Structure 1
Amino acid sequence: MSVPWPVQVDIIAAFSLLGFILVCIPLYWHLEAWNVGCVLYIFWIGTQCLFQFINTIVWRNNAINWAPVWCDITTRFNIGSSIAVCCASLVINRRLYHIANISAVSVTKADKRRNIITDLAIGMGIPILSIAVYWFYQGHRFDILEGIGCVEEYPNSFLAYLLYITWPIPIGLVSATYCTLTLRAFFKRRRDFSTLVASNSNLTFNRYFRLMGLAAIEVLFTIPLAIYNIVQNLTAIPIYPFKGYADLHYWFSRVDQKSAVSWRADPGLVAGMNFKRWTVIGCALLFFLFFGLAEEARKHYRLALSSVAKRVGISTLEKSTGFSSTGSNFKPTTSGFGRITIPTFVQRTTRRGSMDSFSDRLSTNISISDVIDEKATYSPVGSSGSSTYIASPVDTEKGVSPQESLPPVSFPPPPQRAYRPESPTRSEAPDVPASVRPNSIDMV
Structure 2
Amino acid sequence: MKVRALKIFIPRQVKRWLPTSLFGRSLLIIVLPVALMQMVVTWIFFDAHWQTVTSRLSDGLAGDIAWAVESYQEDPPALPKIAERAERSMSLSIVLIEDKKLPPQRPASLYAPLDRALDKALSDKLDAPYWFDTVRFPAYVDIRVQVKDGTLRIIAPRERAYATQGHIFVFWMAAATLLLTTIAILFIRNQVRAIERLADAAEAFGKGGDVDEFKPYGAREVRQAAQAFIAMKNRIVRHIDQRTAMLASVSHDLRTPLTRLKLELALAEPSKRVEAMKTDLAEMEHMIDGYLAFARGEEGEVLEPTSLKDLIAEVAEGAVRAGARVTVEADPELVLPVRPNALKRALSNLVMNAASHGDQVAVSVASTPAGGVEIVVDDDGPGIPEARYEEAFRPFNRLDESRNQNEKGVGLGLAIARDVARGHGGDITLDRSPLGGLRAVVRLPG
- TM bucket normalised to smaller: under 0.3
Question: Please, what TM-score do these two structures have when normalized by structure 2?
Answer: 0.18
- Quick check: which one's strand share is greater? 2
Bigger relative CO (Cα 8 Å, ≥ 6 apart): 1
Question: Please, what TM-score do these two structures have when normalized by structure 1?
Answer: 0.18
